[in-house]
Chain A
Amino acid sequence: MDPYSAEGELINIHNHFHQGQYQEVVDYDVSTLSSENELPARVLQLRARIALGQAEDALADVTGEKEPELQAIAALAEQALGNSDKAVGIIEKLAQSAADNTTVQVVGGTVLQAAGKSEEALALLSQHQGSLDAVALIVQVHLQQNRTDLAVKEVTAARRWAQDSLLVNLAESWVGLRLGGEKYQQAFYVFEELAQAPATSSVRSLVSQAVAELHLGRTEEAQAALDQALKKEPKFAEAIANLLVLNVIAGKDTAEQRTLLEATDAQHPLLVDLAEKSDLFDKAAAKYSAKASA
Chain B
Amino acid sequence: MQSASGMLTKFESKSSRAKGIAFHPKRPWILVSLHSSTIQLWDYRMGTLIDRFEEHDGPVRGVDFHKTQPLFVSGGDDYKIKVWSYQTRRCLFTLNGHLDYIRTVFFHNELPWIVSASDDQTIRIWNWQNRSLLCTMTGHNHYVMCAQFHPKDADLVVSASLDQTVRVWDISGLRKKHSAPASIYESQMNQANQQQADMFGNTDAVVKFVLEGHDRGVNWVSFHPTMPLIVSAGDDRLIKLWRMSETKAWEVDTCRGHFQNASGCLFHPHQDLILSAGEDKTIRVWDLNKRTAVHTFKRENDRFWVIAAHPEINLFAAGHDNGVMVFKLERERPASAVYQNQLFYITKEKHVKSYDLQKNVESPTLLSLKKLGSPWVPPRTLSYNPAERSVLVTSPADGGSYELINLPRDGTGAIEPTESKRGSGNSAIFVARNRFAVLNTAAQTIDIKDLQNNVTRSFKPPLGTSDIYFGGTGNLLIITPTAVHLYDVQQKKTTAELAVNGVKYVVWSNDGLYAALLSKHNVTIVTKTLEQVSTLHETIRIKSATWDDAGVLLYSTLNHVKYTLLNGDNGIVRTLDQTVYLVRVKGRNVYCLDRAAKPRILQIDPTEYRFKLALVKRNYEGMLHIIQNSSLVGQSIISYLQKKGYPEIALQFVQDPTTRFELAIECGNLEVAVEMAKQLDRPKLWTRLSAEALAHGNHSIVEMCYQKLKHFDKLSFLYLTTGDEAKLTRMAKIAEHRGDFGSRFQNALYLGEVEDRIQMFKEIDLYPLAYMTAKAHGLEDECQSILEASGLTEDQLNLPTFGEPLTPPKPLVPTYKANWPTKATSQSFFEKALLGQMEGLSLEDESAAVNGVGEEAEEDGAKRGLLGDGEEEEDAGAWDMGDDVVPEVEEGLVDVGTAEAGGAGSSEADLWARNSPLAVDHAAGGSFETAMQLLNRQVGAVNFAPLKPRFLEVYQASKTYLPASAGLPPLVNYVRRTVEESDLRKVLPIIPRDLEYLAEHDLQQGYKCMKNNKLEEGVALFKNILHSLLVNAVDSEDEVSEAKKVITAAAEYTLAMSIELERRSLGTPDAVSADPELLKRNLELAAYFTIPKIGVAHRQLALSNAMTQSMRNKNYSSALSFANRIISNGDANGALAKLLEAARRNKATCERNPHDAVEIEFDQFAEFEICAASYTPIYSGTAYEECAFDGSKYHTKYKGTVCKVCEVCEVGKHGSGLKLFA
Contacts and interface: CB of A to CB of B under 8 A. Distances in A.
A22 B966 CA distance: 10
A12 B907 contact: no
A294 B907 contact: no
Nearest to A137: B965
Contacts of A269: 961, 969-970, 972
Given A178-B973, A200-B490, A293-B866, A145 B905 contact: yes
Interface in A182-227: 182-186, 189-190, 192-193, 196-200, 204, 207-208, 211, 214-217
Nearest to B1212: A291
B899 A149 contact: yes
B959 A293 contact: no
Interface string B962-983: 1111111111111111011110
B960 A245 contact: yes
A207 B963 contact: yes
A199 B943 contact: no
Contacts of A273: 959
B932 interface: yes
Interface stretch (A28-36, A88-96, A97-105, A277-285): A277-285
Q: Which of B872, B928, B941, B1001 has the most CB of A within 10 A?
A: B928
A242 B958 CA distance: 10
A217 B952 contact: no
Nearest to A148: B896
Interface stretch (B567-575, B706-714, B784-792, B1199-1207): B1199-1207
A205 to B, nearest CB: 9
Contacts of A242: 960-961
A285 B864 CA distance: 13
Contacts of A177: 962, 971, 973
Nearest to B457: A6
Contacts of A144: 968-969, 971
B474 interface: yes
Interface in B812-850: none
Size band of the B side of the interface? 35 or more
B942 interface: yes
A244 B970 CA distance: 15
A164 interface: yes
B805 interface: no
B1034 to A, nearest CB: 16
Given A79-B967, A245-B959, A249-B957, A289 B976 contact: no
Nearest to A50: B967
B948 interface: yes
B932 A290 contact: no
Interface in B847-873: 853-854, 866-873
A199 B976 contact: no
A285 B945 contact: yes
A118 interface: yes
A289 B967 contact: no
A144 B967 CA distance: 14
Contacts of B870: 286-289
A155 B231 CA distance: 67
Interface in B480-505: 488, 490-491, 495
Size band of the A side of the interface? 35 or more
Q: Which of A50, A199, A288 has the most CB of B within 10 A?
A: A288
Q: Which of A12, A146, A186, A214 has the most CB of B within 10 A?
A: A146
Contact of B959 (A6, A11, A270, A291): A270
B957 A189 contact: no
A188 B956 CA distance: 22
Interface string A229-272: 00000000010011011001111011000000000000011100
Q: Which of A164, A182, A285 has the most CB of B within 10 A?
A: A285
A190 B473 CA distance: 11
A147 interface: yes
A157 interface: no
B902 interface: yes
Given A177-B973, A217-B979, A288 B943 contact: yes
Contacts of B969: 114, 144, 269
Contacts of A293: 866, 869, 1201-1202
A262 to B, nearest CB: 14
A200 B474 contact: yes
B992 A215 contact: no
A146 B971 CA distance: 10
Given A149-B899, A270-B959, A164 B1210 contact: no
A270 B953 CA distance: 12
A82 interface: no
Interface string B1201-1222: 1101000001001000000000
B962 A288 contact: no
A281 B952 contact: yes
B874 interface: yes
Contacts of B956: 244-245, 248, 254, 270, 274
A140 interface: yes
B297 interface: no
B1140 to A, nearest CB: 37
Q: Which of A245, A268, A278 has the most CB of B within 10 A?
A: A245
Given A197-B474, A248-B956, A249-B975, A180 B987 contact: yes
A16 to B, nearest CB: 11
Nearest to B998: A251
Determine chain A's interface SS by DSSP, over half rule: helix
A135 B573 CA distance: 58
Nearest to A181: B982
Contacts of B873: 287-289
Contacts of B1173: 294
Contacts of B972: 269
Nearest to B944: A285
A184 to B, nearest CB: 7
Nearest to B854: A253
Contact of A251 (B473, B959, B993): B993
A145 B1202 contact: no
Contacts of A268: 961
A164 B450 contact: yes
Contacts of B945: 285
Contacts of B432: 193
B1176 interface: no
Nearest to A192: B473
A292 interface: yes
A179 interface: yes
Nearest to A143: B971
A118 B903 CA distance: 9
A214 B1200 contact: no
B992 A250 contact: yes
A178 B905 contact: no
Contacts of B473: 192-193, 196-197, 200
A290 B952 contact: no
A197 B471 CA distance: 10
4 tightest Cβ-Cβ pairs between the two chains A and B: A181-B982, A291-B1200, A292-B1200, A289-B870
Interface of A: 6, 11-12, 15, 17, 20, 22, 47-48, 50-51, 76, 79-80, 110-111, 113-114, 118-119, 122, 136-137, 140, 143-150, 163-164, 170, 174, 177-186, 189-190, 192-193, 196-200, 204, 207-208, 211, 214-217, 238, 241-242, 244-245, 248-251, 253-254, 268-270, 273-274, 277-278, 280-282, 284-294
13 contacts: A12-B491, A47-B966, A51-B966, A149-B899, A170-B964, A177-B962, A180-B979, A181-B982, A199-B474, A285-B944, A288-B867, A288-B932, A293-B866
Interface of B: 387, 432-433, 450, 456-457, 472-475, 488, 490-491, 495, 512, 528-529, 853-854, 866-874, 896-897, 899, 902-908, 926, 928-929, 932, 936, 941-945, 947-948, 951-953, 955-957, 959-977, 979-982, 987, 990, 992-993, 997, 1001, 1173, 1198-1202, 1204, 1210, 1213
Given A242-B960, A290-B1201, 13 more contacts: A148-B896, A150-B902, A163-B450, A164-B450, A174-B964, A189-B433, A197-B472, A200-B473, A249-B975, A273-B959, A281-B948, A288-B942, A289-B942
